[in-house]
Amino acid sequence: METLQQSEKIIAERYRILGKLGQGGVGITYAAVDLNSNQKVALKALSLRLTTEWKKIELFEREAKTLSGLNHPGIPRYIDCFQVDTSQDRCFYIAQQLAPGKSLAQLIENGWKPNEAQVRHIAYQLLEILAYLQSLLPAAIHRDIKPQNIILQKNGRVFLVDFGAVQNTYHHTVTGGSTVVGTYGYMAPEQFRGKAVLSTDLYGLGTTLLFLLTQKFPSDLPRHKLKVKFREFVSISPEFADWLEKIIEPASEDRFHSAKDALSALRGEQPSGINLDKMFKRSPQSRITLIDTKRWLLIKIHPDRSPSKLKWFFQFIHLSYKFLLPFSLILGFVLSSLSCEYTTTDWLQRLSGRFFNISILAITTFTLFYALMWLCMTDYRQFTRPIQIRSPDIQRVKLSGIHLPLLKKSITFCRIRAKSRNYCFGLFLPQAEKEWLVGELNDCLSKLK
């Protein structure tokens, strides 16, 4: 990018360029100093004048949007995104925390030869980062895992950088994904077809680890039916070699289903076996994650837009039920006993009788509201504890409703009748999402019959 080649140039009256860090498929990254904080940052830039494809601008904007929502110690912190207009050009910028250290590619070029323990330690950290990305809704796929995009500090800490090729699972599902993004040698076979799934990043991780162990580019290693043959070039334990064999399987369905499963297997634990690629999503803004594993059905509702006014209302009902209602009952019984002792005071007898009747009515009303509140609190707990049901146990799925005298419309919620118990949830969801969820659940149920 011509306008930023020289050091000491100040961008947006805030960032002073120190030098060029690298150039990728989308933009050039510079080391810079934030004049406001005096901290070093990575400043990624893209010139509109020098860009030949509009797709790069789309990827740049997607990267900025993704980075702004990430919060993980292994991903450099997002700072800002802005553009600078001149008479000749428009430049887009992303400012991030500068990851200290050197890339794995630089370290190998400088003669570093890591052993199995060091490679395992890098794998653990990267899998934790990928597991975090895959836990997002929608899940994020980096699509360009390679040695150049992994920074290693002297203390062994790892950073994953350059999210210029990032894609979310929803975008891929809706559009079909037709753009080939990645780096040859580290790209999973499905990426050549413009496809990316959760295990795509695992393939990139596996080939990166092979590069560390063999000191060879993955494209230079022999292959048989697309499968990389690496065992004769490494000196590692059979268990680790078997793990690497699985993570670089050419067919995505033969790899570990997710980073979490790969991490469990690397630690010697039993993988969960849940294929997160089979998620159903209504929209990118949806709070619902529905996972069908044929044997188990998992439903996760995220509390991004939980209605605070309703929560305050039910908290008030809860306090009323615990404190005001007992007080009214005690007062009603006291007045009733007084009316029995002083029968000559007819007005006191009538007053106590009416108060007692009001207390009984209050008990009924508050009990109804409390039952509704209990249902809401049960529903709210699903935000932090997903519903997990054995698929064969499901007998019926429907949308149920509660009609309250003070409300014109019924309050609906999702109900699953299973062999052992009933599950009621989704009270706070919009009506359209409730109907969608019940429809998807019935589809899952019909496939079992």
Judging by beta carbons within 10 Å of its beta carbon (0-12, 13-18, 19+), is residue 403 exposed, middle or buried? exposed
CA 379 to each of CA 292, 302, 320, 387: distance values in angstroms, whole numbers, following the listed order:
21, 11, 21, 10
Q: C-alpha angle 434/438/442, rounded to 5°?
A: 170
CB atoms within 10 A of CB 262: 26
Judging by beta carbons within 10 Å of its beta carbon (0-12, 13-18, 19+), is residue 234 exposed, middle or buried? middle
Active site (annotated) includes residue 144: yes
| CA 318/CA 370 separation, integer angstroms | 7
DSSP string, 214-274: HSS-GGGS-EETTEE--GGG----HHHHHHHHHHT-SSGGGS-SSHHHHHHHHTTPPP---
| CA 397/CA 155 separation, integer angstroms | 53
| CA 62/CA 430 separation, integer angstroms | 27
Per the residue annotation, which of 34, 80, 89, 144 is the catalytic one? 144
Token pair recorded at residue 127 = 């899998």
What is the dihedral angle through the alpha carbons of 193, 57, 71, 77, rounded to the nearest 10 degrees? 130
Please list the active-site residues: 144
